[in-house]
A and B are shown apart, each in its own frame.
Chain A
């Protein structure tokens, strides 16, 4: 009986995390000053072990919703369209090996904050950090990398398709 109760409590934690709506920005995780992602084990000036910074909004439905809004507001669509790309590369990857700089949350965080060669601007210092994490979660959700239960199947604007609509057998999204 006791274990069943504990089990239930643990189960609720799973859904709790997905369904909570944290409107207040979570305390800043220091990633802006350095790298969020570990690029290599070689570090100048000594061997410091650097752990990947975790996405505080992983699997959170509200963060994906905010990320979707910010994706339009901050004009990511200007280069990436609704995920299909244009001036910039598509963010809905046909093949998960197509991520140029990696698909881990810390990788995408670095991409947005530091910018990347060939046109990705540096948004660090402009977009508040917690919103960068929301964008990270949203971009990952476009590729089925976040919890399916947290990802909306469609947006309310034109021609927005996410990878979560009836994906192909091998996991790639249908066009």
Chain B
């Protein structure tokens, strides 16, 4: 009874829709686009470029550490490179790539045409790009931060970090955090107010749940890092405040508290979308609905809450009162429960499903192996006595690479292989994909497993070299060779992606026979996503018989109209008109960027930022000509 995707075209004027929702093909059209697919793709591609840059920095570091007292990199250069590596990976790759996946997939998964605030979406991307260009542009001018990716004062303060490097670092954070906040706001409103009718919260895909929790976490966590970096550190460095100067009553520990109040949730902000991806992939590939949906949702929310109560475990060595620290031990152990519940639910899904072993599933198994090991070392680090030996050594480096690469990067690669047909309309090559998986998996373990041992042998972090005779040589050499194996795996993945993009097997709408709504759209999706917005009656819409599904008709096709629904019951509430493509987000971002860039040289540039930004915002919000309303 209900029309299939192709039959829906009879109920929708797809040509009109295409004309209304497309961006113009010119350069101006590209710059003024507010299409969520385009912006999502931009986030992902830009993040990938930063991943490659960060990877090169990692290779340089490993080359320097391959043998003792090596002279490949000087001390100063090594410090700059490890700072850039951490900053690039954490701020310019990990969060933005997850945001990009969210921006691309969430509107498709909830059954709407775009995100809630399209121009804010564009603005967020331009701010992110500006931040990355700012950091690396200043690096070109030799203003390179070298105090580590968390830049503890007093080392990062005005007396001990001469020059402008750390100022650049502190201000770059403003760019990326503004961008993340924009995306968080959009995703929350999109998920809460623009779901298709019938998609009550308990029918929403797991990936959308993970993006919802992650977005709330961003809103609470990002302001903390802006305070730590911009208010405390940058002001101390540029206008002579004493927030973190002990001689005049400040406290370096205050910086650590505020930074890690952000820093710990930050890693969960990176991690949660990956969990959502794993749920999506496993549901499709085991051909059964994910086991334990309520438990998974509650665990995600639990992860989000508890993550804010763990931050002192980065500061166990600072001599804080014992009882207070013990609380954080308990909380850090507790979060293993919420992560554990999710792993158990996935294992149950795997056990009782009919698994199809594609490349994406290979990466999911890699995730289970690597992330669970990282979680175990995390429990070790949660214990204060053990942390007092392992803190600031290569044991911690091993731990966080296991949880970040295993817990975020492997699911991301799984997601790439899974959603590549949707993004591009072509399938990735399975053989090359599996080969890239094995090489990445072996290379990763070869690089990072020896680091556990190095940490226990006493090798501290952030050292540009080490003296011979301490027994650290072999493990370092193994880690360096592993890094090059990872490089090979990464190159194979890139080759696979590029080749498949050009000449891969063409994909239909739903090559995996998946359950969630994005697979109803074309591959790649039309700019309007769906000819008719769907009506949902179950948790796995595409596995519901066609007779039980519905469509929404009556939205105008000659302007960008979307449907706003109630938060809980998703009854249709009203039709809303989305703004047309506009250059103002770019101009506003440009205005702010000019001001923020100059601000590290002089306080008066903040005024420039305000004025230019205000001009941009005025243009942005200038009311449009009222639309004629036809009956």
Same complex origin of A and B: yes
- Using a CB–CB cutoff of 8 Å, the interface residues on chain A facing chain B are 11-12, 14-16, 18-21, 23, 61-62, 64-65, 68, 148-150, 152-158, 161, 165-166
User: Which residues of chain A come closer than 8 Å to B240, judged between CB atoms?
Assistant: 153-154, 161, 165
User: Which residues of chain B come closer than 8 Å to A19, judged between CB atoms?
Assistant: 141-144, 163-165
A65 touches B143 (CB 8 A): no
- The 8 Å CB contact of A150, one of B141, B157, B163, B245, is B163
Q: Identify 7 new A-B residue pairs, CB closer than 8 A, beyond the known A14-B141, A153-B238, A156-B245.
A: A11-B141, A15-B143, A61-B162, A153-B239, A154-B240, A155-B159, A157-B159
Asked if B622 lies at the interface with its beta carbon under 8 angstroms from chain A, I say no
- The 8 Å CB contact of B158, one of A15, A148, A153, is A153
For the complex, give the distance between the alpha carbons of A20 and B419 in Å. Answer: 46
A62 touches B158 (CB 8 A): no
For the complex, give the distance between the alpha carbons of A158 and B245 in Å. Answer: 9
A selection of 7 A-B contacts at a CB cut-off of 8 Å is A18-B142, A23-B76, A65-B159, A153-B238, A154-B158, A154-B245, A156-B158
B248 touches A158 (CB 8 A): yes
What string of 1s and 0s marks CB contacts (under 8 Å) between B236-276 and chain A? 11111010011110000000000000000000000000000
A165 touches B239 (CB 8 A): yes
B426–chain A nearest beta-carbon distance, Å: 36
Q: A15-B143, A62-B163, A156-B157 are in contact. Are A149 and B247 (CB under 8 A)?
A: no
Chain A residue with the shortest CB-CB distance to B161: A65
Chain A residue with the shortest CB-CB distance to B159: A156
Asked if B154 lies at the interface with its beta carbon under 8 angstroms from chain A, I say yes
For the complex, give the distance between the alpha carbons of A68 and B240 in Å. Answer: 16
| Residue of B141, B164, B602 with most partner-chain A CB within 10 A | B141
Chain A residue with the shortest CB-CB distance to B167: A149
Asked if B601 lies at the interface with its beta carbon under 8 angstroms from chain A, I say yes
User: Which residues of chain A come closer than 8 Å to B239, judged between CB atoms?
Assistant: 153, 165-166
A150–chain B nearest beta-carbon distance, Å: 7
For the complex, give the distance between the alpha carbons of A57 and B140 in Å. Answer: 21
What string of 1s and 0s marks CB contacts (under 8 Å) between B120-164 and chain A? 000000000000000000001111100000000010011110111
- The 8 Å CB contact of B237, one of A64, A68, A153, is A153
User: Which residues of chain A come closer than 8 Å to B154, judged between CB atoms?
Assistant: 156
A21 touches B157 (CB 8 A): no
Chain B residue with the shortest CB-CB distance to A16: B142
A173–chain B nearest beta-carbon distance, Å: 12
- Using a CB–CB cutoff of 8 Å, the interface residues on chain B facing chain A are 76, 140-144, 154, 157-160, 162-165, 236-240, 242, 245-248, 601-602
For the complex, give the distance between the alpha carbons of A58 and B6 in Å. Answer: 73
A68 touches B141 (CB 8 A): no
B141 touches A16 (CB 8 A): yes
Q: A11-B141, A61-B163 are in contact. Are A149 and B601 (CB under 8 A)?
A: yes
Q: A61-B162, A152-B162, A155-B158 are in contact. Are A15 and B142 (CB under 8 A)?
A: yes
B163 touches A12 (CB 8 A): no
Closest 10 CB pairs of A and B: A65-B162, A15-B141, A152-B158, A61-B162, A61-B163, A19-B142, A153-B240, A156-B159, A154-B240, A19-B163
B366–chain A nearest beta-carbon distance, Å: 41
A150 touches B162 (CB 8 A): yes
For the complex, give the distance between the alpha carbons of A73 and B239 in Å. Answer: 26
B163 touches A157 (CB 8 A): no
User: Which residues of chain B come closer than 8 Å to A21, judged between CB atoms?
Assistant: 76, 162-163
B454–chain A nearest beta-carbon distance, Å: 28
User: Which residues of chain B come closer than 8 Å to A148, judged between CB atoms?
Assistant: 601-602
A165–chain B nearest beta-carbon distance, Å: 5
Chain B residue with the shortest CB-CB distance to A165: B240
Chain B residue with the shortest CB-CB distance to A11: B141
Q: A12-B141, A16-B141 are in contact. Are A154 and B236 (CB under 8 A)?
A: yes
User: Which residues of chain B come closer than 8 Å to A157, judged between CB atoms?
Assistant: 159, 247
For the complex, give the distance between the alpha carbons of A19 and B248 in Å. Answer: 28
B247 touches A156 (CB 8 A): yes
B234–chain A nearest beta-carbon distance, Å: 11
A149 touches B164 (CB 8 A): yes
User: Which residues of chain A come closer than 8 Å to B602, judged between CB atoms?
Assistant: 148
B512–chain A nearest beta-carbon distance, Å: 48
A142–chain B nearest beta-carbon distance, Å: 14
User: Which residues of chain A come closer than 8 Å to B76, judged between CB atoms?
Assistant: 21, 23
B477–chain A nearest beta-carbon distance, Å: 28
User: Which residues of chain B come closer than 8 Å to A158, judged between CB atoms?
Assistant: 247-248
A51–chain B nearest beta-carbon distance, Å: 29
For the complex, give the distance between the alpha carbons of A14 and B157 in Å. Answer: 23
Chain A residue with the shortest CB-CB distance to B165: A19
For the complex, give the distance between the alpha carbons of A19 and B77 in Å. Answer: 12
User: Which residues of chain B come closer than 8 Å to A18, judged between CB atoms?
Assistant: 142, 163-164
For the complex, give the distance between the alpha carbons of A19 and B140 in Å. Answer: 11
B95–chain A nearest beta-carbon distance, Å: 28
B160 touches A156 (CB 8 A): yes
